[in-house]
């Protein structure tokens, strides 16, 4: 039940202040100019201090950084050469977590890498170097993540893994493998990948042989979650979280993935901090590092706060917020919250879709794995089968719209003000077994198995 006494006044301020604010664009601009903010870089450290300083200037309480260590990765060199039927070099990059390897083998084109394709060819993959399309076909009914395709390649005994972008433009698409990556993983553009595959036509025996060489650094690193609160009043010991990762991949400024999402989290917090004293629950803003190589910041956050997770009523993740497109509140599970968000949407006079769809590829996942009611702000316009500019060198500031940033920041602030002030929040925490059950029922059991997604 929503206590609406103050909401009309709050809405007018959030919309007026939010839609006139240049602050979220400034954040994206500043974060982009620093560099990638990839784990272990100087720009990451600079971003941490910058976000702390911004949180203080917005009037957040309890502003601090929480250090943790993890197995990080630094890019070195990568090469790919065809050795049969011709000798030819291709432009490639290593995928994060790929260490140092030198392998040779016969190329095997795995197409889109759907479960059926792997099953039909699994006896024929030992020692092969697999090239697979990055596309996640819409007819499968669930996304097929890079981690799943890589995990299947490892289990099939493949010697190497080549990730071919599904969209043209000579861009290579990066993306993390997993710590201790067992076989080399590299990325190639659509154009060069298709050229390589086509060499089979001129080969007498129909085979193409390739050599992959990579040299990268795997080392222990320190990073920091950046945290600030807008303290609640009547239910101040209850917490709702607005979170987003602020790191990008090392090859780009990561302006859309995810400087934009971090800017929307920060700006919605700034707007809400103008109303401290009127919010029942504490609103916590968390900017997560090292999301791109395994949701490491958010995983470490839930590990470090085991004893107090029961105080968290809701976590909203903003990966990719601030882009154009129709927005939905996509809950991880907890259908009992659908009427809550429908009522919130009605009260806001701002129609948005609410549904449940479990996701495992961004920072809400560690929270939902721990049973915490959670969801994400999702873009539901169109059928999404690829990443567009994300994870390429083209994820740059020129793609970012100041208006979309302002629109999403006010949307998130208005939604989360209502969540923070909701009487009798109906969603309970779940046990890990219940969550594993939900994952199975969502048809994601294979993802859990092949992608190393079980958290400890
Ligand atoms: Zn992201």
For 193-241, how does the pLDDT look when each residue is reduced to its tens digit (9 = 90+)?
A: 999 999 999 999 999 999 999 999 999 999 999 999 999 999 999 999 9
Q: 377 C-alpha vs ligand 1 centroid, how far in Å?
A: 12
- pLDDT tens profile 367-382: 999 999 999 999 998 7
pLDDT at 383 over 80: no
> What is the pLDDT at residue 452?
76
Q: 63 C-alpha vs ligand 1 centroid, how far in Å?
A: 23
Q: 294 C-alpha vs ligand 1 centroid, how far in Å?
A: 11
> What is the pLDDT at residue 456?
65
> What is the pLDDT at residue 385?
76
267: nearest Cα among 244, 237, 249, 298: 244
Q: 295 C-alpha vs ligand 1 centroid, how far in Å?
A: 9
Q: 245 C-alpha vs ligand 1 centroid, how far in Å?
A: 7
pLDDT at 1 over 60: no
Is residue 214 within 8 Å of residue 244, measured between CB atoms? no
Q: 353 C-alpha vs ligand 1 centroid, how far in Å?
A: 21
d(C-alpha 276, C-alpha 233), whole Å: 8
CB atoms < 10 A from the CB of 154, how many?
18
Residue 161 makes CB contacts below 8 A (sequence gap 6+) with 95, 129, 130, 132, 149, 150, 153, 154, 177, 183, 184, 185, 186
> What is the pLDDT at residue 287?
98
Q: 361 C-alpha vs ligand 1 centroid, how far in Å?
A: 9
Q: 263 C-alpha vs ligand 1 centroid, how far in Å?
A: 13
Q: 390 C-alpha vs ligand 1 centroid, how far in Å?
A: 8
At residue 373, what are phi and psi to the nearest 5 degrees?
-55, 125
* Protein residues within 5 Å, CB atom, of ion ligand 1: 257-258, 319
pLDDT at 6 over 90: no
pLDDT at 447 over 60: yes
Residue 98 makes CB contacts below 8 A (sequence gap 6+) with 73, 78, 177, 181, 184, 185, 186, 214, 216
Q: 108 C-alpha vs ligand 1 centroid, how far in Å?
A: 30
d(C-alpha 45, C-alpha 123), whole Å: 47
- pLDDT tens profile 131-163: 999 999 989 888 899 999 999 999 999 999 999
Residue 240 makes CB contacts below 8 A (sequence gap 6+) with 281, 282, 283, 284, 312, 313, 314, 315, 316, 416, 419, 420
Q: 360 C-alpha vs ligand 1 centroid, how far in Å?
A: 12
C-alpha angle 13-354-428 in degrees, rounded to nearest 5: 95
**Which residues are paired to 228 by β-bridges?**
285
Residue 397 makes CB contacts below 8 A (sequence gap 6+) with 28, 29, 32, 253, 255
- What 206-209 contacts at long range (C-beta under 8 Å, 24+ apart), as own/partner pairs, is 207/84, 207/106, 207/107, 208/82, 208/84, 208/85, 208/106, 208/107, 209/82, 209/83, 209/84, 209/104, 209/105, 209/106, 209/107
For the chain, the first-to-last Cα distance in angstroms comes to: 36
Q: 31 C-alpha vs ligand 1 centroid, how far in Å?
A: 14
- pLDDT tens profile 325-355: 999 999 999 999 999 999 999 999 999 999 9
> What is the pLDDT at residue 451?
84
Q: 255 C-alpha vs ligand 1 centroid, how far in Å?
A: 10
Q: 258 C-alpha vs ligand 1 centroid, how far in Å?
A: 5
Q: 193 C-alpha vs ligand 1 centroid, how far in Å?
A: 25
pLDDT at 2 over 70: no
C-alpha angle 9-14-19 in degrees, rounded to nearest 5: 135
Total count of residues recorded for the chain: 456
pTM here is: 0.96
Q: 84 C-alpha vs ligand 1 centroid, how far in Å?
A: 38
d(C-alpha 388, C-alpha 409), whole Å: 23
Domains of the chain, start order: 7-71+220-450 (3.40.630.10), 77-218 (3.50.30.30)
Q: 362 C-alpha vs ligand 1 centroid, how far in Å?
A: 7
d(C-alpha 392, C-alpha 93), whole Å: 11
Q: 39 C-alpha vs ligand 1 centroid, how far in Å?
A: 14
d(C-alpha 167, C-alpha 215), whole Å: 27
């Amino acid at each position: 039940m929503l206590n609406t006494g103050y909401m009309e006044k709050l809405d007018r301020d959030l919309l007026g202040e939010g839609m006139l604010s240049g602050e979220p664009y400034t954040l994206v601009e500043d974060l982009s100019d620093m560099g990638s903010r990839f784990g272990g870089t100087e720009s990451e450290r600079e971003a941490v201090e910058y976000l702390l300083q911004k949180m203080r200037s917005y009037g957040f309480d309890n502003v601090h950084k929480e250090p943790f260590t993890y197995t990080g990765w630094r890019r070195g060199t990568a090469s790919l050469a065809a050795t049969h039927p011709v000798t030819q070099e291709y432009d490639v990059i290593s995928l994060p977590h790929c260490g140092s390897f030198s392998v040779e083998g016969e190329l095997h084109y795995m197409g889109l890498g759907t479960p059926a394709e792997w099953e039909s060819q699994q006896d024929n993959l030992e020692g092969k170097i697999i090239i697979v399309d990055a596309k996640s076909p819409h007819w499968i009914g669930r996304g097929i993540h890079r981690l799943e395709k890589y995990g299947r390649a490892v289990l099939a005994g493949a010697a190497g893994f080549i990730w071919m972008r599904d969209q043209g433009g000579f861009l290579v698409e990066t993306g993390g493998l997993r710590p201790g990556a067992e076989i080399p993983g590299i990325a190639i553009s659509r154009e060069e990948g298709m050229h390589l595959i086509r060499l089979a036509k001129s080969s007498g025996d129909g085979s193409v042989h390739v050599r992959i060489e990579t040299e990268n650094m795997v080392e222990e690193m320190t990073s920091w979650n950046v945290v600030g609160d807008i303290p609640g009043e009547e239910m101040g010991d209850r917490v709702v979280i607005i979170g987003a990762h602020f790191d990008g991949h090392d090859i780009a400024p990561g302006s859309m993935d995810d400087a934009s999402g971090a800017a929307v989290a920060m700006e919605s917090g700034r707007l809400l901090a103008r109303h401290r004293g009127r919010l029942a629950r504490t609103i916590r803003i968390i900017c997560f590092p090292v999301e791109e190589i395994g949701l490491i910041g958010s995983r470490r956050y839930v590990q470090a706060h085991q004893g107090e997770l029961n105080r968290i009523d809701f976590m909203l993740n903003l990966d990719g917020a601030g882009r154009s497109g129709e927005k939905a509140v996509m809950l991880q599970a907890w259908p009992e919250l659908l009427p809550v968000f429908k009522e919130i949407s009605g009260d806001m006079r701002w129609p948005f879709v609410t549904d449940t769809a479990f996701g495992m590829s961004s920072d809400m996942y560690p929270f939902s794995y721990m049973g915490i009611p959670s969801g994400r702000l999702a873009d539901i316009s169109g059928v999404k089968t690829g990443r567009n500019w994300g994870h390429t060198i083209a994820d740059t500031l020129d793609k970012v719209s100041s208006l979309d940033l302002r629109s999403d920041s006010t949307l998130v602030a208005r939604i989360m003000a209502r969540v923070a002030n909701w009487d009798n929040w109906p969603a309970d925490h779940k046990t890990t077994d219940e969550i594993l059950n939900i994952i199975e029922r969502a048809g994601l059991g294979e993802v859990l198995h092949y992608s190393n997604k079980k958290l400890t």
